[in-house]
Structure 1
Amino acid sequence: MADIQLTTGICARLSNSENDDDELYNSQPVVQFLSFKRVPPSGGASTMDRYRVIVSDGEHFLQSMLATQLNHLVEEEQVLKHSIAVIEKFTCNLVQGKKLLIILAMRVLKKEAEKIGSPTPVQPRGGGSGPSVDMQPDTPTVPSPAPSTSVNTTSTPATVVPRAQPARQQTQAGRGGRSAIYPIESLSPYQNHWTIKARVTQKSDIRTWSNQRGEGKLFNVTLMDESGEIRATAFNAAVDEFYDRLQEGKVYLISKAKVNLAKKKFSNLNNEYELGLERSTEIEECTDATDVPTVKFNFVDIAGLQELPKDAICDVIGIVKEVGELSAITSKATNKEIPKRELTVVDKSGFSVRVTLWGKQAEQYNATDQPVVAFKGAKVGDFQGRSLSIMSSSSLYINPDIPEAHLLRGWYDSIGAEQTYQSHTNAMSNGGGVSFDRAEIMCLHDVKTSDMGLSDRVDTFCSRATIMHIRNENIAYPACPACGKKVVQMGDNWRCEKCDKSYPKPEYRYMISMAVADYSGQAWFSGFNDVGRTIFGMPADELIEIRERDDIKFNQVLERTIGSTYNFTCRARQDNFNDQTRVRYGISRILPLEYREEASYLANLLLRSEWSR
């Protein structure tokens, strides 16, 4: 039989504590949880649920908050009402004049227990009524056990969170010393005296702006410790002060920065706050960096990108299969050219994705021999389906020394190099928001007889049809690698009038015209690059190379597509050609048949038919 003792008086000590009470903040008190309350995101910078908790020491109770990395303990019911735990890592924030305990790490000693004692609110120093809270501990409907601060248990304590170091470690730096070290997770605008020990994992270029209010410059860095990440931004004079001092990969002690609400349109980090670096901010390089991780990834495989919404931020690792030429686009806002380079990246999921690098990352990319690349903070786009864009706040790692990279390298060298990949941007194309609905399929006869596309507006319809013939004339056109517009050959180069640039070779893009049929009739459908890549399973460059090298093989590739059936979402649009009005059917989305979904749909139809009898 083992007794678990609650730490008597800890709630009062925490409520009335001073920021420099290192003995208290390095302790590991044992408390009981009286209740949990989920606090949903409030909008703005907040993006995650939080859990508000009432903790008790048997005499008093105190309002607390779980750090987001502990949410799973509540959601997976590893900790319950009246559970007893040791708080291994914590801090306190001052909110509206009251202390709020922030629990950063904990270890459950007993999951199921009876309520201990009859705790009351902590009385502030000097008497008076105790602080009000918006969540009171639940009053039991059965008699409570006699007031006590211990409970018997026969089970061995179960560790649900790895043991961590105390939340604060006193660090002396300079003559006056520094405040105790806080984890990034605990920072809030309600604190004034804190120091973080963090690694710079990303540093932007210096950017300038000019508007009616004036002009200036800024740069930002991403800081990380074991508890999380936060973005820090410096403006004007602070840029001169800190830009050269802060270097990627190094660890710093940082204090006296301003904690603000995060501007989410400029940051992809999972943090409600960001730091403003000012001239008075203190930054000192720390040589002892053993307790600060280098970088944290949460990888999504390329096939899984279809599950992410547009503008989502994710981490991806893969093999660079193709590298595009360096090009540039002209910014409409600044009228300046922005360097651009596109990579085709593949992974073990069997999919490929187009990744666009911008600025210096595009200019400086010179890796060869199909390296492993890891992208942190890539932005998901919906251009022709799914694509990735590497922003100024994103990070690119070539051949990183991590287990995932070594496994990927071994797989690709053994079998991946000979594998063919499905173009994720095409097979999952969403047609600019036009979706395919199985229940809305129209036969081709009904499409033609319903006068679709004859009005001024564009009509959309879903169809299932089989390819009968594909025109091999003008099946692809030479396009600009940067903008996709048609280029013209001039000597040994190809000229793009839109970009005002010449390239040693074009990037061919499909321009498909094909006859399709279903049980009711036939129609001509047209589509562009994503349609061709889905049908042929290869980029247009590869098909054009086959045509120029072996005409017989080219015809065989076309013949293999005959008889293939797809689901289509199309736009019917009126067109005038040689003074004749006609309706053209353009493909917005093409999808291979999903036989499992089709079988489920037909089974449901049969069930509904039986029920209606």
Structure 2
Amino acid sequence: MSFQLDTGICQRINSATPNEDELFGHSHTLQVLSLKKVGKQQENTNLPSDRYRIVLSDGAHFLQAMLATQLNDMVVEEHLKRYTVVCVERLSCNYVQEKRLIIIMALRILGQEDKKIGEPVPIDTNTTHSEAPTPAPEKPLRQPTAQSTSNSNASTPSASRPPQRGNWHPIEGLSPYQNNWTIKARVTQKSELKSYSNARGEGKVFNVTFMDETGEIRATAFNAIADNLYPKLEEGKVYYVSKGKVNLAKKKFSNVQNDFEITLEAKSEIEECLETSNLPMIKYSFVTLQELQDLPKDSTCDVIGILKDYGDVSEITSRATSRTMKKRELTLVDKSGFSVRLTLWGNQAENFSPDEQNPVIAFKGVKVGDYGGRSLGMVASATMTQNPDIPESHALRGWYDSAGSESTFQSHSNANGSFTGSGGAGFNRAELKPLLEMKLEANRIPDSDEKPVYFSTRATVMHIRSENIAYPACETCNKKVVEEGDSWRCDKCDKILSRPTYRYIMSFAVSDHTGQAWFHGFNDVGNTLFGKSANEITEIKDSDDAQYNLILAKACCKSYNFLLRAKRDSYNDNNRIRYGVSRILPLNYKEENEAC
């Protein structure tokens, strides 16, 4: 098959100015003469991604360009190689350190030739780079020095000095080796303005995510610069951004898919752009709620679902910092038939209000957890959008209104598939295992595996250890307190208590028709078994042994449904499986009968 190349187009591209949108957005048939990797991805993920230099020919001349990273797969999978004929559908022309840079943004493969078409020659025969000459163009027009230096602080530049249309840099082309760049990008996420304190002192910080058609990048501002820029940047709006410092990205603080990030400085310039065409709002890569079980803990993902239910704002105390945090839990469902619990934190939890009953909500960059089964949590870089105008949202809305509202949904477990919420959160009668089968499965947990495995079972309490049935705890943090004379001291909270609050810590034997096992439980378990608080039981234990033993005896010979958390641990140099009770549920005989 013979191909007709667009003769003369290389010269036109080489001499074009950056704002010739018609030329750069039009399709051109060209041939690949060579491909060369100019950056190598190492195991260290802080290093930049592979970049490919491509030489294109129109049959008469050839020119050099860079291949956009989203097209790398074509090279890796060898669809794009030497002598491939392509239809270049979109180009970008930028200046990097006053040198022209052509970037191939989109192309389509037409076919493969065995040899070079025509006898292409360099556009500029005087250049020293014979492989792919790129003569330096005239420098873009600049405003007088007085105007360009009139704004030394990070702020909106003068309206008389807007960046030239088309003369901006693609986000994916940013690197620490460039100083003079301007990006045109939409703010897709903006964090809260937070205060921090460390060994170097106190300060303020916030970050935003900028996105254009080539990719996204995270930008951070500190202290006075953060105070100045925070009210000027709004989610959803488009800005010209320049004169920031490009550094290697700190991956542990961001889930943005870019090897670099921007630090906004005092000299940084930001101007709102009213021409917002061809810039995406947010790029999603959704996974279904069912697919969450295949994702590793602490990874991030994008999900979209129907808000089935949401709780009130509550407060918890962080174990790491002892600070009080506000949280709110949402329940999401989707067409996969699964539900998941998603946690909002801080101001987002307090200010959350659904736009309508059961809205569609899209989340970008939420964190995957495994507490009590698969769960999701918002992080600083995550975004939440109600009823987004995207095809996935419209499809989900139609499904829920027509049939989904009457469906039942499964929640996730770390093992054994999924567990429905019938009869209690996390327990599923369909997954009941006899004690012997459960123990055989648990014994197959590798010694090196630190992840728990969850089981549902039904068993009868046969014996409760009477020693150390409760411990003295701090009423604030629930940690064990130490008696000092007539008072009690909490080392964690660093305070003195007049009396402790007792909490259950129990070991008890259970059995069924296949065998016996020892379970371990905490406060909720004791409250269910005895119907009394640990304070009451401790008082009876200290004052009346006979009544205490009678209470223990009455708690035995009763059957319960259990959700168990099985995990390997070591005790006195013995490796064993420990069965912790995550849920204990008294039998509901009506539900048990209906389940038969």
TM bin, normalised by shorter chain, reads: 0.5 to 0.7
Deviation at 1:413, TM superposition (A): 3.8
Give the SS at the match of 1:392: coil
Q: 1:242 aligns with which of 226, 229, 238?
A: 229
Match of 2:409 in 1: 421
User: When the two structures are aligned, how many residues end up with a matched partner?
Assistant: 478
The equivalent residue for 2:31 is 32
Give the 3-state SS of the residue equivalent to 2:397 in structure 1.
helix
Structure 1 contact 198–252 (Cα < 8 Å) conserved: yes
* Structure 1 residue corresponding to 2:578, chosen from 579, 586, 606: 586
Contact 2:6/2:28 (<8 A) preserved: yes
Closer/same/farther in 2, CA of residues 410 and 86 from structure 1, 3 Å limit: closer
Q: Kindly indicate whether residue 168 of structure 2 is the aligned counterpart of residue 178 of structure 1.
A: no
**1: CA distance, partners of 2:452 / 2:177:** 55
User: What is the distance in 1 between the residues matched to 2:19 and 2:577?
Assistant: 73
Task: Give the Cα separation in 2 of the matches to 1:286 and 1:446.
Answer: 61
Match of 1:338 in 2: 325
Verify: 1:207 aligned to 2:199, yes or no: no
C-alpha change, 1:352 and 1:120, in structure 2 (3 Å) is same
Q: Quick check: 1:284 aligned with 2:277?
A: no
Question: Percent sequence identity over matched residues?
Answer: 43
Question: Is the CA contact 2:35–2:53 (under 8 Å) kept in the aligned structure 1?
Answer: yes
Q: Does the C-alpha gap of structure 1 residues 117 and 96 become closer, same or farther in structure 2, counting only changes over 3 Å? A: farther
Counterpart of 2:380 in structure 1 is: 392
- 1:252-280 Cα distance to aligned partner (Å, 9 max, x none): 22223332222212211112222222232
Do the aligned partners of residues 326 and 184 (structure 1) sit closer, same or farther apart at CA in structure 2, a change above 3 Å counting? same
Task: After TM superposition, give the deviation of residue 360 of structure 1 in Å.
Answer: 0.9
Deviation of 1:126 after TM superposition, in Å, equals 6.2
Mapped pair 1:263 → 2:250: yes
Does residue 410 of structure 1 match 2:398?
Answer: yes
Is the contact between residue 206 and residue 217 of structure 1 (CA under 8 Å) also seen in structure 2?
yes
Q: Aligned letter for 1:248? A: E
Query: Over residues 495-548 of structure 1, what are the superposed CA-to-partner deviations in whole Å (9 max), with x where a residue is unaligned?
Result: xx9999xxxxxxxxx999753676xxx23153779xx9xxxxxxx99xx9xxxx
**Displacement of 1:98 after TM fit?**
8.6
Q: Which runs of 5+ in 1 are unaligned?
A: 134-167, 431-440, 475-482, 487-496, 501-509, 533-539, 545-557, 576-581, 591-613
1:390 partner letter? M
The answer for the alignment partner of 1:106 in structure 2 is 107
Report if aligned partners of 1:444, 1:463 keep a CA contact under 8 Å in 2: no
Among candidates 218, 222, 228, match of residue 209 of structure 2? 222
Superimposed CA distance per residue, residues 45-67 of structure 1 (whole angstroms, 9 cap, x where no aligned partner)? 35866555444455776665422
Taking the aligned partners of 2:369 and 2:102, their CA distance within structure 1 comes to 40
SS in 2 for 1:243: helix
Give the Cα separation in 1 of the matches to 2:442 and 2:282: 55
The residue type paired with residue 524 of structure 1 is: A
1:20–1:290 CA distance, 2 compared to 1 (3 A): closer
Corresponding position of 2:45: 44
1:416–1:4 Cα change, 3 Å: same
Which ranges in structure 2 are unaligned for 5 or more consecutive residues? 134-139, 144-156, 419-435, 465-475, 480-489, 496-505, 532-558, 583-596
CA 421–21 in structure 1, closer or farther in 2 if over 3 Å, else same: closer
The residue type equivalent to 1:515 in the other structure is: S
Paired letter, 1:421:
F
- TM-score (normalizing by structure 1): 0.62
Shift in alpha-carbon separation, 1:330–1:247, aligned structure 2, 3 A: same
Q: Which amino acid aligns with 1:70?
A: L
Q: Do 2:462 and 2:511's aligned partners in 1 also have CA atoms closer than 8 Å?
A: no
Give the distance between the partners of 2:386 and 2:267, measured in 1 at CA.
36
Cα distance in 2 for residues equivalent to 1:358 and 1:585: 35
Secondary structure of residue in 2 paired with 1:5: coil
Listed one character per residue, the Cα deviations across residues 369-389 of structure 1 (whole Å, up to 9, x for unaligned) are 333221111111233342211
Alpha-carbon distance, 1:302 to partner: 0.8
Residues 387-432 of structure 1: CA deviation (Å, up to 9, x unaligned)? 21101111112233333233323333443334332221454699xx
Separation (CA, whole Å) in 2 of partners of 1:117 and 1:459: 59
Cα offset for 1:301? 0.5
Relative to structure 1, is the Cα distance of residues 3 and 329 closer, same or farther in structure 2, using a 3 angstrom cutoff?
Answer: same
The 8 Å contact of residues 468 and 514 in structure 1, kept in 2 or not, is answered as no
Choose the corresponding residue for 1:526, options 519, 537, 540.
Answer: 519
Maintained 8 Å contact 1:467/1:516: no
Q: Counterparts of 1:230 and 1:13 in 2: how far apart (Å)?
A: 28
Structure 1 SS opposite 2:227: helix
Give the secondary-structure state (helix, strand or coil) at the position aligned to 1:4. coil
